[in-house]
Amino acid sequence: MISLQSKDFLEPKISHFMIESEKVAHVQLGNNLEHALLVLTKSGYSAIPVLDAKFTLHGLISSSGITEAILGLERIEFEKLSDIKVESVMTREIPRLHIDDQFEKALGLLVDHPFLCVEDDSGLFAGIFTRRMLLKKLNEHVHKLNHF
């Protein structure tokens, strides 16, 4: 039977496995929904971070949130895309990780979120930690134990 040494899996720091901020598709405060939809569509992601010029994290913008914002009574009002700013549509209440946090903290949060934003000591956006990475590491861990 497999005995999962949970300490080995839960203790590594998420910072070693996150996608660094410069590789994360994002939009900035002040951008309009047309720009955000373009970045979301081109990147193929369903939600991305909203940052300011200093790289402070302000929220997440999603394609479903954008569609909701331009949904009229009888049709989707695409002409509104250029008039609405991302800050009026983004989700502000989001879970955050610190670069020194361990897998254990991410594990519970990733049940409800496909990815988590990570901040550094100065509170600036450092990157994201994805559910995919956590599952990849769990898969490696389980295989290692299986081959003991």
Q: Which is nearer to ligand AMP, 70 or 128 (CB)?
A: 128
Whole-angstrom CA distances from 14 to 18, 91, 129, 136, 144 are 6, 23, 7, 13, 20
Tokens of 48: 């991305």
Q: In the complex, what is the shortest distance from the CB of residue 72 to ligand AMP, in angstroms, rounded to a whole number?
A: 27
Closest listed residue to residue 60, CA positions, set 69, 50, 70, 51: 50
Of the two residues 92 and 132, which places its CB atom closer to ligand AMP in the complex? 132
Q: Which residue of this chain has its Cβ atom nearest to ligand AMP in the complex?
A: 132
Minimal distance in Å, beta carbon 19 to ligand AMP?
A: 5
Residues lying near ligand AMP in the complex (CB under 6 A): 19, 23-25, 45-48, 114-115, 128, 130-132
Would you mind telling me the total number of residues written for the chain in this entry? 148
